[in-house]
Structure 1
């Protein structure tokens, strides 16, 4: 699945209406964000069962503020509407794949064990 752009208007619906969502919080001026974008996009192509969302923190400051985004890129994962992962910094493809594997192993009820 290709990445999708989300905004403050559809962020909540995106994480609540999908079982597993990875969100890349980024900004156009951010060098590390630009290095991470192709990794995020390439890995997204391998996982049709995961929503890979991108949220521009400059254009959506209210959501970035509400989620206490202090540095970018920040990756958050939501399972069944609940945040289960939150990390600032660039992940390489292997680290991102490992994260997805761990997320797919979470219990169906959405609780982290």
Structure 2
């Protein structure tokens, strides 16, 4: 599956769906972003059940600001509308594949229970 360009207009629609969404916050001038781009693209071709989205932080400053992106590339992993991972840095292919396996393995029922408990304790 090809990557999807994410903007403030479509970000919530894409990321709020059930399933896994990986988001790459990047900029054209960023060397590490350019190095990570083909790794991200190859992974998108291997995992057709995952949405791979890209946010151009130069064009989407408001969106990058909303997520407090201060270093790029930043990779965010969202599953069933819950952010499970958000870290800056270009991952090598093996590390990206490992992250995808970990995100797939998360027990989302357990996450939902924890979120509900945390919300109830406030």
Give the TM-score band, short-chain normalised.
over 0.9
Question: Equivalents in 1 of 2:102, 2:87: separation in Å?
Answer: 15
Residue matched to 1:103:
103
5+ unaligned residues in a row in structure 2: which ranges?
115-122
Aligned residues: 113
Larger Rg belongs to: 2
Runs of at least 4 residues off by over 3 Å? none
CA RMSD of aligned residues (A): 1.5
1:7 corresponding residue in structure 2: 7
Matched residue of 1:111: which SS? helix
Unaligned runs of 5+ in 1: none
Shift of 1:39: 0.5
Report how far residue 17 of structure 1 moved. Answer: 1.7
Q: Are 1:15 and 1:78, in contact at CA under 8 Å, matched by a contact in 2?
A: yes
Q: Scaled by the length of structure 1, what TM-score is found?
A: 0.94
1:18: Cα distance to partner? 3.8
Structure 1 equivalent of residue 85 of structure 2? 85
Task: Pick the structure with more helix per residue.
Answer: 2
